[in-house]
């Protein structure tokens, strides 16, 4: 996973890392849930909402359409309610509740969460590269796993207690319908998935989380703050990658005052990055002469990033 503020190079590095691993013979999926559809830009193909699309040998890219997922999610909820309660039609107040809930940002988040869990749990690839949305979202996502977990824990234990009463009551009534089991099973299923996904996120053996930063004062400060938050959620940070480093060789060339000034400033910021993050800085990628789009540019970044 690549995290960091918007515009620093998360999508660029996700694509480059995917490209590198695919070239090494691993089957890779690079995916994102960012509605800004930037994987489509970098791979120069329309990927949005199309499922995994093959980019080259071993390399697949996918952009999840969150709206489409929300709709599918709502249908699933309707279907489950109908099945559990043996209804043909949903009562109007339930339907309007489902409609209202879809206006909630949390509904979109949980639909996305669900989509990501589906992708990772299916296990069809050797590597998954998650081009994360800007930091706040990633944290929201993790905190949601914790909150959900506590909530479901509570509900399941209540349901389990209730089931004991139900069994007694059913016995007295000589009635053995146990629809409540279906609800309990559903809750346990959700809980399993949430636990599986937060296990993936916080498992340093299988998951690597990289922060992308650039040599600028504000970004260094923001990255530090974010890193603290991440450690609070027990997400192991694998390291930092510095992007957009001005090429060294400029220093020995005859360059305008403006550029010399920027070089000096960057040298100071790079020094601060080294003091702050030390050996956790795993790589530096230079500022290239143009935007990174298309496989040729991606392969150049991959060489700097992984070569």
Ligand X SMILES: Nc1ncnc2c1ncn2[C@@H]1O[C@H](COP(=O)(O)OP(=O)(O)O)[C@@H](O)[C@H]1O
Residue numbers of the site for ligand X (CB under 6 A)?
4, 6-12, 38, 243-244, 285, 287-288, 291-292
Question: Residue 38 or 58: which CB sits closer to Mg ion?
Answer: 38
CB of 30 to ligand X, least distance (A): 12
Show Cβ contacts of residue 210 under 8 Å, excluding neighbours closer than 6 positions: 1, 2, 3, 13, 237, 238, 239, 240, 241, 282
Nearest position to Mg ion, beta carbon: 11
By a kind-dependent CB cut-off of 5 to 8 A, residue 187 interacts, out of Mg ion, ligand X, none, with none
Residue by residue, DSSP assigns 78-89 as HHHHHHHHT-SS
* Cβ burial 147-182 (10 Å sphere, 16+ → b, else e): ebeeebeeebeebeeebeebeeeeeeeeeeeeeeee
Q: Which two tokens stand for residue 197?
A: 């996904």
CB of 141 to Mg ion, least distance (A): 16
Q: CA–CA separation, 69 vs 53, rounded Å?
A: 18
**Closest distance of CB 34 from Mg ion, Å:** 6
Which of 113, 190, 110, 108 is closest to 149 using CA atoms?
190
**107 or 214: whose CB is closer to ligand X?**
214
Closer CB to Mg ion, 130 or 240, in the complex = 130
Check: CB of residue 223 under 8 Å from CB of residue 240: yes
Minimum CB separation of residue 290 from ligand X in Å reads: 7
Which option in Mg ion, ligand X, none does residue 288 bind, with CB closer than 5 to 8 A by kind? ligand X
CB of 181 or CB of 303, closer to ligand X: 303
Min. distance of Cβ 166 from ligand X in angstroms? 51
Nearest to 239 by CA among 39, 15, 13: 13
Shortest Cβ 164–ligand X spacing (Å): 52
Euclidean distance between CA atoms 104 and 264, whole angstroms: 47
- Nearer CB in complex with ligand X: 12/58: 12
Beta strand pairing call for 53-56 and 59-63? antiparallel
Kindly tell me which of 43 and 73 has the beta carbon lying closer to ligand X: 43
| Backbone angles phi and psi of 44, in degrees to 5 | 55, 45
Binder of residue 9, out of ligand X, Mg ion, none (CB less than 5 to 8 A by kind) = ligand X
247 binds, among ligand X, Mg ion, none (CB under 5 to 8 A by kind): none
**Contacted by 33, from ligand X, Mg ion, none: CB < 5 to 8 Å by type:** none
Q: Which does 18 bind (CB under 5 to 8 A by kind): ligand X, Mg ion, none?
A: none
Handedness of CA 230, 232, 234, 240 (dihedral sign): positive
Nearer Cβ to ligand X, position 9 or 215?
9
- Judged by the rule CB under 5 A, the positions of this chain that interact with Mg ion are 10-11, 38
Closest CB 243 distance from ligand X, rounded Å: 5
| 40, two tokens | 């489509």
Distances (CA, A) of 123 to 28, 37, 129, 192, 272: 11, 24, 13, 16, 40
7 contact choice in Mg ion, ligand X, none (CB below 5 to 8 Å, kind-dependent): ligand X
């Amino acid at each position: 996973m690549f995290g960091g503020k918007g515009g620093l190079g998360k999508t660029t590095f996700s694509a480059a890392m995917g490209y590198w691993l695919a070239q090494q013979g691993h089957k890779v999926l690079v995916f994102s849930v960012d509605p800004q559809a930037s994987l489509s830009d970098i791979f120069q193909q329309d990927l949005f909402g199309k499922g995994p699309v093959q980019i080259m040998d071993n390399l697949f890219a996918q952009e999840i359409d969150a709206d489409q997922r929300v709709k599918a999610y709502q249908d699933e909820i309707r279907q489950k309610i109908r099945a559990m309660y043996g209804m043909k039609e949903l009562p109007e107040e339930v339907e309007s509740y489902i409609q209202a809930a879809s206006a909630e940002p949390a509904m979109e988040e949980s639909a996305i969460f669900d989509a990501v869990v589906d992708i990772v749990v299916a296990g069809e690839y050797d590597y998954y590269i998650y081009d994360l949305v800007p930091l706040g979202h990633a944290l929201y996502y993790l905190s949601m796993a914790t909150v959900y977990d506590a909530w479901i824990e509570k509900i399941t234990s209540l349901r389990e207690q209730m089931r004991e009463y139900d069994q007694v009551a059913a016995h007295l009534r000589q009635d053995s319908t146990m629809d409540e089991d279906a609800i309990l099973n559903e809750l346990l299923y959700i809980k399993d998935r949430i636990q599986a996904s937060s296990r993936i996120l916080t498992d340093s053996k299988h998951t690597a989380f990289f922060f992308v930063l650039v040599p600028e004062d504000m970004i260094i400060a923001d990255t530090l703050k974010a890193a603290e938050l991440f450690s609070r959620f027990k997400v192991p940070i694998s390291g930092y990658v510095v992007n957009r480093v001005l090429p060294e060789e400029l220093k020995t060339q005859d360059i305008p005052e403006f550029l010399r000034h920027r070089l000096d400033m960057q040298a100071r910021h790079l020094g601060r990055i080294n003091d702050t993050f030390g050996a956790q800085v795993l790589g530096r990628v230079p500022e290239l002469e143009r935007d990174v789009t298309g496989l040729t540019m991606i392969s150049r970044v991959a060489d700097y990033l992984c070569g």
